[in-house]
Every structure is written in C-alpha cells, then in structure tokens.
C-alpha cells in the first residue's frame, strides 16, 4: 500500500553531515516528517557540511528567495595539492611546495574581494545539452565554460598553519568556493583544493537552531523542530491587513492602502513585503509600490 504523506508547512534548518548529498538529506528529512511536499534551497556538495534550509509545503513557494541570497562559509584550503574535483573527493593531479607567508596570502586575498569572474568547475551540476557537467568530467571530457560574474562580499583570513589556510567567505549566488580556493592557490603559485567547507548562513538564516538528522530521527514529534514559513521572509517589511482587506488580498485584488488609515505601511519603501491578517496568519507576499498600492505576489493556500 502506498504511504500516505501529510501536508506539512515550515522550514527546517538542517545541519547537513559530510558525505551526504543535499538531495539525499532532503529525502531523509522528508521521510522523518512524513511530508507530502519538500525542497531544498540550493545544494551543498557531499563533502560540505552546515546550513541547508529545507522547505516543506507552503514554504516551497518562497525557496527561490534563498537560491538568490548571499551565503557565508568557513572553509579550509589545502595549499600545494591540486585535485581534479577541487576538493578532497578528487584524484591528486599535482603536488607543489608551499612557501607562502601570511603577507603573501593577505596580498592575494585582496585580489579576490568584490566583483570577480569565475569559470564554473567541470565537477558541477550545471548542464550542457541536458547533461550535468560532472557526467562529462567522469567520462574524461572537458568542455569550454564561460566565466561568470560573482561577488565576494567578505574574504577574511581566519588562520594559517601551512599548508592549511582557513578562510571566512560571504559571497553572492552562483559562487563556487572550490573554484575560489583553487584560484587562490594558483595565485600563490602552489595550487590548492578544499579540505573542508561549512556553510554558516543563507540570507538572514544562520546556524542558530540548526538540527541534525540524528536529532530529527530521535525526536518524538519532529514537526516541532520546524520554523514557520515566514522565517524565509524576515528581511522584508510587514503589512497587517484587516479582515476585509485580507479577504480581498487573497482574491488577488490590488489594494490602495494609502486610503486605509487603519493600515500601517512602510515609509518611503517600494518592493516586496510579507502580508499578515489581523489574527497573525501569514497571507503571503506582495509588491508594495507607488501610491501605496499593494499587489499580491505569492499567496499561502492555507490562509484562505
């Protein structure tokens, strides 16, 4: 008999373990929750650990925001050793002596701060003709890849005990920390690969209240570990609507809130907002624009 899944809404801040793909971690968490619908918000490589926000039910409508969000990592770069994958899972291609000093490293790091260009690695999930690049790489095929624009907002030296270089990185979407580590190693003249990678922040979400798969499996009521759907929306201003306006909002109507003195609106702001009913229910997100007009964007189906 086919297992009946439940409608579960919320966000799980999972501490992904090493050796597990993001999709495998999602499948395990979804099974523990007995959830009907779930998705993750951007992958972590199997060798990486740390914050992997998992969205359940209505929260999946807002997962795209985290895909677009900046991310923060702690990483250990192993200088002097190049691998074909850029991390510990690959075969060693070259070993070189490491002579870099802290001053050398600081000078090189400065070159990678701000807007930079990165060539995506062959061992990545990017697709060419419907086939992931890593499949080509496993067949010994190397394809030309266009450099992409990314932004390194923060790149700090946390520690250096040769040949291991510890860095804290905050970066834009689409940044490959493996490639960053390799490029830093190349700039130092000794090559490098990532020895460890841990994600500590995605957008406004941090490692506070992260949960391991073991804790999830052992919890008698795992859904109690879920954060509410609006945990994904905390960076947006909020608007609270009275019952009549809430009903109209859920029916897709644009609302001229400048004519509603009972509704507090964000001052001098245009953009996305989170919208609530008077009783605290999240109704969804809206676009707040010129003349204080609120237009529905993504609505919570269970709010009606």
Q: How far apart are the first and last CA of the chain?
A: 33
State CA 289 to chain mean position distance.
28
What is the Cα–Cα distance from 272 to 281, expressed in whole angstroms? 18
Contact 73, 98 (CB under 8 A): no
C-alpha distance from residue 93 to each of 77, 78, 177 (Å): 16, 14, 19
């860095």: which residue's tokens?
Answer: 167
28: tokens are 């395990």
Beta-carbon count within 10 A of 119 CB: 14
Name the catalytic one among 15, 45, 65, 230.
Answer: 45
36: tokens are 């009907």
Beta-sheet pairing, 49-56 with 192-202: parallel
Please indicate whether residue 45 is annotated as part of the active site.
Answer: yes
Q: Which residues are catalytic?
A: 45
């Amino acid at each position: 008999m086919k297992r009946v899944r439940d409608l579960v809404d919320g966000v799980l801040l999972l501490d992904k373990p090493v050796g597990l793909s993001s999709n495998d971690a999602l499948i395990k968490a979804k099974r523990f929750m007995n959830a009907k619908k779930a998705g993750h918000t951007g992958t972590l490589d199997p060798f990486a650990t740390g914050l992997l926000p998992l969205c359940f039910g209505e929260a999946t409508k807002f997962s795209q925001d985290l895909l677009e969000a900046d991310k923060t990592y702690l990483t250990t770069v192993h200088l002097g050793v190049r691998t074909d994958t850029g991390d510990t899972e690959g075969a060693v291609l070259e070993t070189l002596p490491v002579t870099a000093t802290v001053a050398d490293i600081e000078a090189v790091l400065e070159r990678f701060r701000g807007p930079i260009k990165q060539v995506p690695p062959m061992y990545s999930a990017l697709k060419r003709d419907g086939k992931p690049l890593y499949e080509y790489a496993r067949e010994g095929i190397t394809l030309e890849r266009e450099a992409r624009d990314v932004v390194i907002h923060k790149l700090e030296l946390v520690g250096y005990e040769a040949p291991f270089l510890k860095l804290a990185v905050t970066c834009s979407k689409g940044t490959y920390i493996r490639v960053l580590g390799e490029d830093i190693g190349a700039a130092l003249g000794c090559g490098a690969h990532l020895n460890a990678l841990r994600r500590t922040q995605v957008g406004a979400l941090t490692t506070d209240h992260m949960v391991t798969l073991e804790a999830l499996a052992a919890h008698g009521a795992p859904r109690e570990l879920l954060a509410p759907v609006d945990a994904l929306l905390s960076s947006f201003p909020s608007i609270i609507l009275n019952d009549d306006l809430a009903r109209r909002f859920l029916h897709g109507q644009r609302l001229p809130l400048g004519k509603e003195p009972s509704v507090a609106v964000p001052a001098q702001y245009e953009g996305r907002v989170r919208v609530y009913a008077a009783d605290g229910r999240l109704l969804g997100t809206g676009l707040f624009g010129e003349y204080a007009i609120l237009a529905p964007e993504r609505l919570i189906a269970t709010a009606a």
